[in-house]
Structure 1
Amino acid sequence: MLENITIGFIGFGNMAQALANGLLYKNVVKPQQIYASAKNYEKLCKNTREKGMIPCKSTNELVEQCDIIVIAVKPFMIPEVITPIKELLQKKIVISVAAGYPFEKYESILAPGTHHLSTIPNTPVSIGEGIIICENLHSLTKEEYDIVAELFSNIGLLEFVDTKQLTVAGTLSGCGPAFVSMFLEALADGAVKHGLPRDVSYRLASQMVA
């Protein structure tokens, strides 16, 4: 199902790159199926071409080329980015990865009838071990839902929650990895203090929570 799907990232910062890298790392799609656009085209070219992905000079160009559009800009930029292309988005699958932008907020700026889903991924998706919080309320068809589920379940756990739970769930899965890293570092430090080599300490501590 996914071999003919094209994915376009509007915005190609840390989260967009984590998602794209995860899809490539897990061989979910090929590099030439991934497109991206961003304000800094020179930087975009560097971040995409080294892995075989395709940079676009404009969001219009990207939307025309892609089946799934991932909105990956900062939340305050979303109205500015979407307004000029909202008619083009009507025939696409629109996925948001911006925190604080649930279904109803998109309904107020997207063209009527646009099919969209709001999500909050975490950065471990880059190695296929992430979590993607999804809003229960969405406007995808069954076929579109199946495509998105197949795409993203390869790089992380898909967890659907009610709108009012998005912030808590996103905070838990998004900030949690940093706390776990601190915990592992502390465990390793303790082992080193008692004579265990640091590389061995890291391996043991990380395997313990793998």
Structure 2
Amino acid sequence: MAYLDHTKIGFIGFGNMASALADGFIASGKVPAEHLYACAGHFDALKTRTEARGMHAAGDAAALVDAADLVVIAIKPVMIERVLAPLAGALANKPMISVAAAWDCAAYENLLPGTRHLSTVPNTPVSIGEGVIACEREHTLTADERTLAGELLGSVGTVVEVENRLLSVAGTVGGCGPAFIAMVIEALGDAAVKHGIPRAVAYEMVSQMVAGTAKLQLATGAHPGAMKDAVCSPGGTTIKGVAELEACGLRSAFIRAIDAIEG
């Protein structure tokens, strides 16, 4: 079985998600930067970004696959067939982790039959080791490769394995959710600024409140409704705010956002 600190990892595509993963891997201390490779469409820009991290820039996808022990598919979903089909032979002996939305096990088996792959959907907080990574239960990795993939992904966040049919919605909640929560942080920050708190202080306070509340739920396993109730005194200030949020349809708005993405 390969060990993580001896595994060379190659990113086909080096956009925001791949960059976040690379930053998280490096920050974890479990993957040396010099063991990370990437290829992308614009080589000069890629080289600048990889060299800044101590990584290697590959001239093209074929060179990347040749250099890597494990390949991360991080290109746009519409590009996968065009980029990967010519590499079918080279990829036959390389474990793959996909972070491309909508590309599940069945889709890869159709395009690259006989290859070894795992489909995942991470989110951007992986860059600081606080991500959530949804993984499809069905995969074609060997047992050792699946263990290695779990260790790799676990170094940057919480890995949640879901049934095949649930990968899309799990990825939507985890992957799109940071944008929604950022909007909440911004809105509460604006409210604080409206009432006189300096913006930098407002964002620091709100972000820590969000982080602390999430950590409290994870630590205790408490139902979110019970956590809300614990702050709402009879006739108090919090319940008045909760009632106003309910009147504005806060919860239904979040549910409708997920519904809109999932179609």
* TM-score, length of structure 2 as denominator length: 0.77
Tell me which residue corresponds to 2:152.
151
If each structure's strand is expressed as a fraction of its own residues, which one has the higher value?
A: 1
The amino acid that maps onto 1:192 is V
Range with greater deviation from structure 2 (166-175 or 196-205)? 196-205
> Cα offset for 1:153?
0.6
> Residue 83 of structure 1 is aligned with which of 70, 82, 85?
85
1:1-210 alignment runs, 5 A limit: 1-112=3-114, 114-210=115-211
Could you report, residue by residue, the CA deviation over 1:73-104 in whole angstroms, capped at 9, with x for unpaired residues?
A: 11111111111111111111111110011001
Segments of 4+ moved more than 3 angstroms = none
Shift of residue 172 of structure 1? 0.7
Separation (CA, whole Å) in 1 of partners of 2:188 and 2:41: 42
Find the aligned partners of 1:58 and 1:187 in 2 and give their Cα distance.
45
1:33-56: CA deviations, max 9, x gaps?
000111211111111111110001
Q: Give 5+ residue unaligned stretches, structure 2.
A: 212-263
Q: Extract unaligned runs of 5+ from structure 1.
A: none
Root-mean-square deviation (CA, aligned residues, Å) is 1.2
8 A contact 1:5–1:68 mirrored in 2: yes
Distance 2:108 2:191 in 1: 48
Please report the TM-score for the alignment, with normalisation by the length of structure 1: 0.95
Query: How many residues matched?
Result: 209
Bigger helix share: 2
Higher relative contact order (CA 8 A, sep 6+): 1
Is the CA contact 1:87–1:111 (under 8 Å) kept in the aligned structure 2?
no
Q: Percent identity?
A: 48
Question: Deviation of residue 127 (structure 1)?
Answer: 1.3
Give yes or no for contact 1:9–1:70 (8 Å, CA) kept in 2: yes
CA distance in 1, matches of 2:190, 2:82: 47
2-side partners of 1:58 and 1:199: how far apart? 43
Higher Rg: 2
Alignment deviations for residues 81-133 of structure 1 (CA, whole Å, 9 cap, x no partner): 11111111111111111001100110011142x11000111111111111111
Distance, in Å, in 2 between the alignment partners of 1:186 and 1:44 is 35
